[in-house]
Structure 1
């Protein structure tokens, strides 16, 4: 079905507190050179004790409305991707509805981990193209620092906090969405997890301290293999080739992983937008942060063709080819 939805606005927010590699040197056995060499990360932003996913989300949405002068009163669906909601319930989406006094809207959170933003775009496009909704607010909000084990030198160097929001509106004349591809490898779920109620997975005991546990080697191998195949599927669906893509925007998990994906897919790293160097791995937020960095640096412009690809825990992955055409700010 041909898309009838357009991404019209974007807003982002990251906390003020910075956690640099030099700060981590004082916390665990690591050093700046080792972190940069293996991840490409130099800093990450960390939420304060009284900042939560909802707090960051509010500020990202305020950034969107201020920059693009958007009215939220007729938003009829709020989708929030988060793995770190303030509460089990009520949802962050319901908190957003209350904070902005949006009168008539559906509101729910979902969890597709680091693929959450691309999953959210897929749902928003589907809802609008099917005629169920007309104006969807897609939000990604994460406070990964609150679930990071800062005694684990292999994971604590990775994660940062932030939020982003995009507005997806009905527009049959200039739709954004060209092609989508999604997939799941649930048997790989044990390679990156955070426990909740259960302490076993596939009859194997889990580290049940409520913090992120990751087998980085296995996730790296899976992503480096899966994402280039997904990119090829997207290009085939869109009847495009790599030369038609202005910018590749993958989940900013690790710069070395992104370099591997680009090498295997024969896509130039110079045409890739990331947020990893100064934001770290912000899970579902990393792609929209990279988009906004691209805007602020004068790289990303209306009319560009983008290939977005999210991938992460679950194991989940989802990609889009989109036409970037925001409202005039």
Structure 2
């Protein structure tokens, strides 16, 4: 008789969220940016008059909200960002024997997820740190988080830009399915304020800081209330339309002359035009494979990058314009938090769903990269 292999079904047991105490409103951001623009134009008045330097143009609250839907964003270092002479986050460099800032906020989110699941650190087998911007090349932030929490097993970092969390969830789910782990933490500390060019009118308003954690476990040990992972799908297509060239192989400081590409840059209109149909079709195709009618998806927790993109993707998937209940928004108060955005939306807007309800966690971003996680509530 053939031995039957045990079936391991991955579920989401709980999520955690760390939100920085400080927040920057659009009004504050515009005041700072416009002060910078005025100083720049005054300092270079003669060169601008001679056509040697291009004059900068002020921003406005109306422009920001129309372009993105963002009204505020949380940050780890508010005062230096709003200082027209600095316009970048600043914090003291920590010695090697202290917890790094990314690990610190990741640990806070992870502990909340563990507490919500009634789980102890020793119950966890692995930690994946999935985020857009890593504080250093090595040692891995995941291993530092693992050490701070007191978790045995293993950890590693992974970066797929704004899709890092969903790619991390599939990776964790695959470990569970294969029987290589029973409990995996996917932690996404996103200090995106550090890679943003706060002096660029077209993008200075986009990003905010946050940390999320998702506990993926074997259904056999999951708490009574959890989310069954029905299926996941990942996709990447190379594109230069969202890029950041800063790294240890180049020496240019992000603020040095001619180093604008060492910070976040994008071709926003091209991204919108190319990503929306790709992601919408990916969702519909995967739903069909899972025998899920897209029109019956109870809630979409989409990547929080741009209100217009989310509105159009939801409409193409559901067949009608989604309301706030069907596709909740956290973009207005958090800004774009890269891979953490869809997880924040899920964390804050999932408790009210009924057992049997089906939902979708979806991310998309640089790469291009896109990830879908179809889930069903179980209680």
Tell me whether the two structures share a fold, i.e. TM-score over 0.5.
yes
Q: Is the 8 A contact 1:44 1:160 kept in 2?
A: yes
Instruction: Determine if the alignment matches structure 1 residue 87 to structure 2 residue 136.
Output: yes
Aligned residue in 2 for 1:7: 12
Task: State the match for 1:309 in structure 2.
Answer: 362
In structure 1, the residue matched to 2:167 is: 119
Gaps of 5+ in 1: 200-205
Helix, strand or coil for the counterpart of 1:120?
Answer: helix
User: What is the CA deviation profile of residues 263-302 of structure 1, one whole-angstrom value per residue up to 9, with x for unaligned ones?
Assistant: 333254210123211000000100111112214xx54455
The answer to whether structure 1 residue 47 and structure 2 residue 96 are counterparts is no
Alpha-carbon distance in 1 for matches of 2:142, 2:160: 15
After TM superposition, give the deviation of residue 83 of structure 1 in Å.
Answer: 2.0
CA drift at 1:162: 0.5
Structure 1 range deviating more: 261-270 or 231-240: 261-270
Contact 1:179–1:237 at 8 Å: present in 2 too? Answer: no
Larger displacement relative to structure 2 (219-228 or 26-35): 26-35
In structure 1, the partner of 2:304 is 252
Distance 1:182 1:65, change over 3 A: closer
The whole-number CA distance in structure 2 between the counterparts of 1:58 and 1:78 is 11
Max Rg structure: 2
Q: 1:38 to 1:208 in 2, by over 3 A?
A: closer
Q: Secondary structure at the match of 2:286?
A: helix
Over 3 Å counting, the alpha-carbon distance change for 1:300 and 1:17 in structure 2 is: farther
Report the Cα offset of residue 67 of structure 1: 3.3
Q: For residues 135 and 39 of structure 1, what CA distance do their matches in structure 2 show?
A: 37
Deviates more, 1:45-54 or 1:107-116: 45-54
Q: 1:43 to 1:255 in 2, by over 3 A?
A: same
Instruction: From 112, 120, 125, give the equivalent of 1:63.
Output: 112
Identify which of 232, 235, 243 aligns with 1:193.
243
CA RMSD of aligned residues (A): 2.2
Work out the number of aligned pairs and report it.
315
Answer 1 or 2: higher relative contact order, Cα 8 Å, separation at least 6. 1
Following superposition, the deviation at residue 12 of structure 1 comes to 0.4
* Structure 1 residue 207, shift from structure 2 partner: 5.1
Instruction: Give me the whole-angstrom Cα distance separating, in 2, the residues matched to 1:156 and 1:71.
Output: 40
Q: Distance in 1 between matches of 2:193 and 2:142?
A: 21
Partner SS state of residue 157, structure 1: coil
